[in-house]
Structure 1
Amino acid sequence: MRSLWRIIANLFKWTWRLINFVREFILNLFLLLLILVGVGVWMHIKSANQPVEVQRGALNIDLAGVVVDKPSVTNKLGKLGRQLLGASSNRLKENPLFDIVDGIRQGKTDDRISGIVLNLRDFAGGDQPSLQYIGKALREFRDSGKPVYAYGDNFTQAQFYLASFANKIYLAPHGSIDLHGFATNSLYYKSLLDKLKVSSHIFRVGTYKSAVEPFLRDDMSQAARDADTRWVGQLWNNYVAQIAANRQISPEQVFPGAQQLIAALQKNGGDMAKYALDAKLVDELATPAEVDQKLTKVFGWDKQANDYRGTSIYDYSLKKQPAKGNIAVIFADGAIVDGEQTPGTVGGDTTAAEIRSARLDDKIKAIILRVNSPGGSVTASEAIREELAAARAAGKPVVVSMGGMAASGGYWISTPANYIIASPSTLTGSIGIFGIINTVEKSLGTIGVYTDGVATSPLADVSVTKALPQEVQQLMQLSIENGYKNFLDLVAKSRKMTPEQVDQIAQGHVWTGSDAKANGLVDALGDFDDAVKKAAELAKISQPQLQWYQQQPSFADMLFGQMNAQIRAVLPETLQSMLPAPMYDVMSMMKKQPGLFDKMNDPQNRYAVCLTCGDVR
């Protein structure tokens, strides 16, 4: 019997030892794998930081993804991501606008660069002022005597806009140019909220403040429709006019209208490529192989790469800027939120701290605030504005450079500036405020759940599960009206108007940069270069040197940010492709709708947001 127990005990003992061995082996294997991955990543980063030898030949503008003022996470691992994780997230990549422009301008005077090739098949676009700024750099490159070529199988509107700056555009014989116009679309939820029995308490000031309409209506109001029709039409006219000038054709040739376009295609049998050639939108129809031959004659052949000689814009190293500059460049790029900054947002505390740092730095003589924001939290906007006003009061000139959007809260933070410069296609204004508090007491009541209790004051008896007390509603409306009055006063003081004059162009009305200039909301039309010149002029700086204020992400932020982009690129599309088409469209629109589905964390529930400014397609 003892022998049997001994055998059983030994069996359990050796089994336990085997389990421990397997566990330790797996953990050690995982640790070894982690070390190898870490070493590999470090080596890739180290090699990525080494300057790539520039090929004598073309500078390939092979942009992939979108162009933004400031990427959510500095893409130092972009090359690593392409090498290790593939290119599936290319269209989610964020490209810094100013690096692209600096690269093109550097290539203009680089003897190794003899021309530019625009290969934009993976380019997803950017706001119109950003595209105009890149186009300006391409025009400067052309004017230096170096040619610019563009080719593609198909061109989207954003791709063709940049391609139009080329000396010569090649289109595949089976290709097309998708020119269709601009549109905005938003989701409206009133019926859904009614069905869910959600009580939406809306507090607003401004006839045209359409950001709250999705909670109040199932469609766009006529006032909002009229206002949006105006600025969307102006953006499209600016787009068409620029392409017409670049191609030296009439605006009607660029886009004759939907019916005329269909009639022309009916005549030629629906051949989109031939239509583009006949309308002089492109210079030649050519297959990729034919384009390669043409570019090889211009730039030479690279035997190692089996391609014409050239260097990607991603491998083209920019000259190092001085460590310390005399003009601070601070970004307000994204929705404005209260507290610390997170990727894709403007943190009130973070941005105010950057402005304060520039204000206290004796070497900084002027500040450029680059604004590209639809607005957001009123509290956060005021924190940024106050710090910017303090910098101006300290004797440091402040110049605001507006990008694609500087609306609502984006305009609020611009008010302390000595000088405001906007692009003709900037969307700005939208001077108005709203507040939203949703309660679900009716929803819970339908399933037999209720909330009850006692409170020392109606103002204390606030809960998402209870009806909003009348006193709280009155208090909120007073707070919103006070915020709007403050907004008018800030603009009036800044723009040397009366509050009554500001109110006539406010009420939440969105203006293009051109209209904003006519209405006195901005000082001049121009781009970032003009902002630098103005800042240097105001600060009396003979040799301006820029100091870019950008948070440097940690290694983990960069690594996981790159991996997250890959996951977002592959997994959601795979899963969402299984959904019915209408549901997929709804999910895509919800992700794009700014201000409502991002963080709304204002402590007073007050927001200055332009809903439609970020959704022009």
Structure 2
Amino acid sequence: MNYPQRRNPIAAFFVGLWDVMNFTRRLILNLLFFGLLFFVLLVIVVAATRGSGVKPLQDRTTLVIAPEGRLVEQYSADPVSRAVGKAMGDTGADEIQLRDLLRALEAAQKDKKIERVLLQLDKLQPSGFASMREVAAALQTLRGSGKQVVAFSESMSQWQYLLAAQADEVYLDPMGSVLLEGLGRYRQYFRTGLQEKLGVDVNLFKVGEYKSAAEPYVLDAASPDAKEADLYWMNDVWQRYLADIAAARKLDPAELAAGIETMPEGIAAAGGDLARFALQQKLVDGLKTREEVEKLLAERGVADSDADEGFRNINLDAYLTQVDSRKSPLDKRPQVAVVVAEGEIAGGDLPAGRIGGVSTSALLRHAREDDDVKAVVLRVDSPGGEVFASEQIRREVVALKQAGKPVVVSMGDLAASGGYWISMDADRIYADESTVTGSIGIFAMVPNFSRALDKIGVHTDGVGTTRFAGAFDMTRPLDPAVGQVIQSVIDKGYADFTGKVAKARDRSVESVDEVARGRVWSGAQARDRGLVDEFGGLQDAVADAAERASLGEPGKYRVRYIEKAASPFAQFMAGFAGSRIGSWALADSAVARMMLARTLPEMDTQLRFVEQAVKDRNGAPVRSLAYCFCGF
């Protein structure tokens, strides 16, 4: 008689454990599947309930422009992060694309439904003066078309005030303030902390006495050369700011400057009342609360009890939806492509908000291979970064020109160092007078941690087959002969930089060296020195590129941004988060908050820059950098 063999107790335990794990796995997969299916059904239902049409814009509507966050050329977060953040009311990482603000103002200029524009700039974060001046010019054009512009603020910085000053009327809350204080640029210096406290020696190799990007790691204060150069271009930008304000408000720039110098006495005379002081300085036209301004607009426009503001209005996002709905989806006109290069330049395939040697080159290559693209505008807003990545992008600019497609560069707030490297070979370079550019120079930093490790009793020792084997190890003292090798590499990099600029700009190397050596210039100073061709913004650059490609009048071609496309899943999630049901579902979701925190980009810091500069050199003894810690 055969009896069934009893299973070993240990084996039985593991078999049972496997059954439990297998059941759990199937359960999780089923939950994920049905959860995703539920999301899809929600989006379908929302789309059906919202309808496919856009609500018609009514006559005598006020366009309310109340931007929150930084003014950027390109979003730095992916669509999912932005949509989820907006659904949850997270305003910490808000951004407004400059192109969106400009096209809204341009559309409002010709839109008969828009009667006036209300500017509320309290939550607009500081940006560079070049982009702000571009918006200011658009506001002036809007006023010139006959549309009234009213600005209101509870409290304004001098950055925000540059835009508010363009309005027909500027109102300030009686408890608010507007202070013009001037431009300053101050940085932290780490030499004592790094070298004396921590025992970290930073070896700096550079060409150019004005190349000050790495000074904080080797000095305790700014060098005299750095102070001289910074004050030179900053004074130029500041004097232009005062002139812009004076022209908009019909004031004397000298009186504005005098009001800043005598600010303590002026505020004391106003009884410490900052709003009253702003009124006395003629920076604002009146002191009104938000409710009083809304009542004024309701009287001038159309009262609307259903609107929170009390008058008929449309916000910026809703108006952009209106503008987009008027576009034809089948536009076969020839194209002027715009490729945005914003942020630090580094190697590899990088997301929006940073410039990748591989990813940005791929966008330019796409424009070159697309037969519908007849010309390209490269919009640059960058402090620079890695030399090799910059060279990869420059080569694609040259390839576009060789393919018969004109390339025009439009510099934004900042196009310095590596930002200038990728710009120099364009057919034409446009910049605002207040753009920060130049900084033609090269440097490298090699930190050494041998003294820091010695403090905690850690030492490095071993053998090598030659005197240079392991010589670039940062845990060993730097051999002077190795320093000589690095300096030779940097010297060659600087010669490459100035040589390429000389060839691209049809100048001698000697004349380029005179305006290079790491020195930073304003856009106006750069044009005087032959580094920039024309003053103008993005629209001027687009018009130039179209003319070079013989595309005719503006209506004969269209402008298309070439950017990395979001994945289908990202588009789905962005659409869901942007719906009413999606906003409700995500508003109180701890999981969504965790996902958002993980996807938002980290803040760049000077110490992080050092970390990036010394790692992942791909076998190279040192990474050459063309970077500028300039701007505000």
Q: Which TM-score tier does this pair reach, normalised by the shorter chain?
A: 0.7 to 0.9
| Residues 45 and 80, structure 1, Cα contact 8 Å, conserved in 2 | no
- How far, CA to CA, are the matches of 1:589 and 1:23 in structure 2? 38
Partner of 1:313: 316
Count of residues in Structure 1 that have an aligned counterpart in Structure 2:
580
Asked if the contact 1:52/1:315 (under 8 Å) is kept, the reply is no
Q: TM-score, normalised by structure 2?
A: 0.84
Partner of 1:134: 135
Task: State which drifts further: 461-470 or 351-360.
Answer: 461-470
Provide the C-alpha distance between the structure 2 equivalents of 1:516 and 1:138, rounded to a whole number of angstroms.
26
**TM-superposition CA deviations, 1:187-232 (whole Å, max 9, x none):** 2111111121112121110110001111110100000001001111
Q: In 2, distance between residues paired with 1:389 and 1:274? A: 56
- Cα distance change on mapping 1:264 and 1:592 into 2, 3 Å: farther
Structure 1 CA distance, aligned partners of 2:52 and 2:352? Answer: 23
The separation in 2 between residues aligned to 1:483 and 1:124, in whole angstroms, is: 37
Letter of the 1:201 counterpart: N
Residues of 1 paired with 2:418 and 2:533: CA distance?
Answer: 18
Task: Give CA deviations for 1:159-201 in whole Å, capped at 9, x if unaligned.
Answer: 2111111111111111111321111121211111112111212
Give 1:262's aligned residue.
Answer: 264
Task: State how 1:186-585 maps to structure 2 within 5 Å.
Answer: 186-194=187-195, 195-307=197-309, 308-316=311-319, 317=321, 318-319=323-324, 320=327, 322=331, 325-461=334-470, 462-542=472-552, 543-554=556-567
Aligned partners of 2:43, 2:184: CA distance in 1, in Å? 43
Give, in whole Å, the separation in 2 of the partners of 1:343 and 1:230: 33
Range that drifts further, 444-453 or 484-493:
444-453
* Alpha-carbon distance in structure 1 between the residues aligned to 2:349 and 2:22: 45
Q: Is the 8 A contact 2:333 2:557 kept in 1?
A: no
SS at match of 1:351: helix
Contact 1:186 1:612 in 2 (8 A): no
Give the deviation of 1:508 after TM superposition. Answer: 0.2
Q: CA 1:599–1:300 in structure 2 vs 1: closer, same or farther (change >3 Å)?
A: farther
Distance of aligned partners of 1:201 and 1:301 in 2 relative to their CA distance in 1, 3 Å threshold: same
Q: Relative to structure 2, which stretch is displaced further, 70-79 or 535-544?
A: 70-79
The Cα shift of 1:94 comes to 1.3
How has the CA–CA distance of structure 1 residues 458 and 366 changed in structure 2, closer, same or farther, with 3 Å as cutoff? farther
Structure 1 stretch displaced more, 519-528 or 592-601: 592-601
2:65 paired with 1:61: yes
Deviation at 1:59, TM superposition (A): 0.8
Structural mapping, 1:138-217, within 5 Å: 138-194=139-195, 195-217=197-219
CA distance in 2, matches of 1:230, 1:44: 57
Alpha-carbon separation, structure 2, partners of 1:447 and 1:419: 56
Q: Is the 8 A contact 1:48 1:80 kept in 2?
A: no
Distance 1:356 1:249 in 2: 49
Q: 1:475 to 1:323 in 2, by over 3 A?
A: farther
Residue 256 of structure 1, CA deviation: 2.5
Q: CA deviation at 1:468?
A: 2.8
Aligned match of 1:575: none
**Structure 1 range deviating more: 446-455 or 160-169:** 446-455
Q: Which amino acid aligns with 1:51?
A: V
Distance 2:397 2:21 in 1: 63
Per the TM alignment, residue 376 of structure 1 is displaced from its structure 2 partner at its CA by 0.2
Q: Give the drift of 1:418.
A: 1.1
- Helix, strand or coil for the counterpart of 2:272? coil
Is the 1:378–1:602 Cα contact (8 Å) retained in structure 2?
no
Paired with 1:540 and 1:593, the residues of 2 have a C-alpha distance of 48
Distance 1:454 1:20, change over 3 A: closer
Q: Residue type matched to 1:85 in 2? A: M
Give the structure-1-normalised TM-score: 0.86
How many angstroms apart in 2 are the aligned matches of 1:557 and 1:192? 44
Letter aligned with residue 475 of structure 1: V
Q: Is the 8 A contact 2:439 2:517 kept in 1?
A: yes
Structure 2 CA distance for partners of 1:39 and 1:408, relative to 1, 3 Å: farther
Gaps in structure 1 of 5+ consecutive residues: 1-15, 572-587
Q: Conserved in 2, the CA contact under 8 Å of 1:338 and 1:602? A: no
Match of 2:11 in 1: none
Shift of 1:342: 2.7
Sort the Cα spacing of 1:593 and 1:429 in 2 relative to 1 into closer, same or farther, 3 A.
Answer: farther
RMSD, aligned CA: 3.3
Q: Is the 8 A contact 2:502 2:508 kept in 1?
A: yes
How big is each residue's C-alpha offset from its partner over 1:413-449, in whole Å with a ceiling of 9 and x where there is no partner? 1111111111100111100000111121221122221
Encode CA deviations 1:222-273: one digit per residue, 9 max, x unaligned. Answer: 0000100111111211111111110111124434354411111111201111
Contact 2:361 / 2:393 at 8 angstroms: preserved in 1?
A: yes
SS of the residue aligned with 1:315? helix
Q: Distance in 2 between matches of 1:21 and 1:414?
A: 59
Instruction: Tell me the alpha carbon deviations over residues 538-568 of structure 1, each in whole angstroms, 9 at most, x when there is no partner.
Output: 222213322211112336667699999x99x
Aligned to 1:107: 108
Contact 1:595–1:611 (CA under 8 A) maintained in structure 2:
no
Q: For residues 594 and 284 of structure 1, do their structure 2 counterparts lie closer, same or farther at Cα, with a shift above 3 Å needed? A: farther
Does the 8 A contact of 1:380 with 1:602 survive in 2?
Answer: no
Residues 1:25 and 1:493: Cα distance change in structure 2 (over 3 Å): closer
Q: Could you give the per-residue CA deviations for residues 128-164 of structure 1, whole angstroms, max 9, x where no partner exists? A: 1111111111111111111011101111122211111
Q: Which moved more, 1:404-413 or 1:189-198?
A: 189-198
Distance 1:557 1:28, change over 3 A: closer
For residues 46 and 199 of structure 2, the distance between their equivalents in structure 1, rounded to whole angstroms, comes to 55
Following superposition, the deviation at residue 590 of structure 1 comes to 7.0
Which amino acid is the alignment partner of residue 312 of structure 2? R
Aligned residues with identical type, % of pairs? 36
Kept after mapping to 2: 8 A contact 1:401/1:528: yes
Does the aligned pair in 2 maintain the 1:416–1:494 contact within 8 Å? yes
Instruction: Report if the CA contact (8 A) 2:70-2:127 is conserved.
Output: yes
Contact 1:74–1:552 under 8 Å retained in 2:
no
Secondary structure, counterpart of 1:125 in structure 2: coil
Distance 1:306 1:333 in 2: 37
Deviation at 1:66, TM superposition (A): 0.9
| 548-557 or 53-62, which deviates more | 548-557
C-alpha deviation, 1:451, in angstroms: 1.7
Q: Tell me the distance in 2 between the aligned counterparts of 1:132 and 1:193.
A: 40
- The alpha-carbon deviation at position 363 of structure 1 amounts to 2.3
Q: 1:71 aligns with which of 75, 78, 85?
A: 75
Unaligned runs of 5+ in 2: 1-16, 579-585, 595-601
Q: Which amino acid aligns with 2:209?
A: T
- Code of the aligned partner of 1:128: F
